[in-house]
């Protein structure tokens, strides 16, 4: 019989390490190719203990796209609408760490 133990994140507060982290996204374009990019301006915090949580935010205008026309289009009201929504925010409601160290949020 195999017993699985749920791992815990030690109590404390941990800030994102920008050297070892990346906030990115991928979008399938016309069902043919996948466009990938990310954001350069972000922060995140992991809180460990009995009820771990993850929170983070991204500065929308830090999107990593060199092509000016595409960048402008993505920042427009057609997509991110950076004027009305300058930051994307995330707050986890549940966070589980498996025995192998993988995390389900």
Per-residue pLDDT of the chain (105 residues; tens, 9 = 90+): 555 556 678 888 999 888 989 999 898 988 899 989 999 999 999 998 888 899 999 999 999 999 999 999 999 999 999 999 999 999 998 888 888 878 888
Contact partners, residue 23, CB within 8 Å, separation at least 6: 38, 39, 42, 56, 58
- The CA distance from 27 to 37, in Å, is 9
- The CA distance from 60 to 76, in Å, is 11
Which two tokens mark 76? 């427009």
- The CA distance from 28 to 70, in Å, is 15
pTM equals 0.75
Of 10, 3, 99, 105, the C-alpha closest to 54 is: 105
């Amino acid at each position: 019989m195999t017993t699985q133990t749920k791992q815990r994140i030690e109590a404390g507060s941990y800030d994102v390490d920008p050297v070892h982290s990346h906030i990115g996204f991928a979008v399938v374009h016309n069902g043919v190719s996948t466009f990938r990019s990310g954001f350069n301006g972000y922060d995140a915090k992991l809180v460990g203990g009995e009820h771990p949580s993850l929170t983070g935010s991204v500065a929308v205008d830090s999107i990593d796209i060199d092509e000016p026309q595409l960048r402008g289009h993505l920042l427009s009201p057609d997509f991110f609408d950076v004027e009305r929504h300058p930051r994307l925010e995330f707050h986890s409601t549940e966070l589980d760490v498996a025995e192998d160290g993988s995390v389900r949020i």
